[in-house]
Amino acid sequence: MLDFDERDLMRFAEKGGFFPIELELEAEIRAMEPTPLDAFLNRSGNPRIPTIAEAMDQALTPEERERFAAHLRRVVEEGKGVSRMASAYLTATKP
């Protein structure tokens, strides 16, 4: 769910015959809160995508997974990462 933006949402609604269309966008960039590594690895941004741990298991060798997890531990548990989040609220009417 990362391969589109708010302009795409507006275009999809317009092509679908909706009018008028309104979109409210909220975006933020902030420091990550310190989080236990296990909690970070076992969450998913969406129920239809794998957790970070599952993706690591699928894509990395055991050695690569350990090296990457060691790097993530420092960033995640010390809150040194950056969180980027955006939400779009679209309302539209189908005439």
Q: What is the pLDDT of residue 45?
A: 79
pTM beyond 0.75, yes or no: no
Angle between helices 62-77 and 52-59 (to 10 degrees): 150
Answer whether residue 1 shows pLDDT above 70: no
The domain limits of the chain are 1-28+86-95, 33-79
Q: Report how far residue 36's alpha carbon sits from residue 14's, in angstroms, rounded to the nearest whole number.
A: 43
Q: Report how far residue 42's alpha carbon sits from residue 51's, in angstroms, rounded to the nearest whole number.
A: 5
- Over residues 26-42, mean pLDDT: 95
Q: Which helix (H) or strand (E) holds 31?
A: strand 21-31
